[in-house]
Amino acid sequence: MKRALFSLSLACLAILSVSLAVGLAPQVASAAEATNSTAKPAIYDVKADAHQQITEALAKAKPGHKRVLLKFGANWCGWCHRLHRLFEKDPQIAALLKEKYVVVLVDVDQGHNADVVKEYGNPTRLGLPVLVVLDEDGKMLTTQDTGKLEEGDHHSPEKVLAFLKEWQPKAAAAQP
């Protein structure tokens, strides 16, 4: 009888161990992803004051009649890195950004720059990254949930380019 109880106890422990392992698998995978994403190079300055960054960007934008593109995100955010790579690697997007925009990467990790997030209508409620376009005078023109620019496991270059073209500064009308 004792032997049967002992065998039953071992079987229960084995089932419990497997159940715990299977149940914890998603958490372990999430922790591994978080660890891998923090190993990526930092694209956001975690010490930067976003007010100062935006003031400097507006000063650069004004003479060239450019837009200011705020990209709210964090270094741990995989989608932030994907969009950043697309901004740099896609020739059409990179050229349009250089010609028509001044880009500001606003770090929002752990409440950093919370006052700026609030000032622009809490765009991070839409997730990360999120884009906000300002005119050369600092007036907010639009907020873009970048999830709408995604296609599967990446941002669609066509959708991102269309968004940037839609919000680029309009050419001045020719004088007669």
One-character DSSP codes across the chain = -HHHHHHHHHHHHHHHHHHHHHHHHHHHHHHHHHHHHHTSPP-S-TT--HHHHHHHHHHHHHHHT-EEEEEEE-TT-HHHHHHHHHHHH-HHHHHHHHHHEEEEEEE-GGGTTHHHHHHTT-GGGG-SSEEEEE-TTS-EEEEEEGGGGEETTEE-HHHHHHHHHHHSPPPPPPP-
Q: What is the pLDDT of residue 129?
A: 98
pLDDT in tens, the chain (176 residues): 544 444 444 444 444 444 444 443 344 333 334 444 446 799 999 999 999 999 999 999 999 999 999 999 999 999 999 999 999 999 999 999 999 999 999 999 999 999 999 999 999 999 999 999 999 999 999 999 999 999 999 999 999 999 999 999 987 644 45
CA distance 78 to 62: 32
Q: What is the pLDDT of residue 37?
A: 43
Q: Measured between alpha carbons, how far is residue 110 from residues 53, 73, 92, 97, 107 in Å?
A: 19, 11, 33, 28, 9
Q: What is the pLDDT of residue 176?
A: 52
Q: What is the pLDDT of residue 63?
A: 96
Q: What is the pLDDT of residue 40?
A: 78
Q: What is the pLDDT of residue 111?
A: 96
Q: What is the pLDDT of residue 171?
A: 76
Q: Measured between alpha carbons, how far is residue 132 from residues 28, 37, 146 in Å?
A: 34, 24, 10
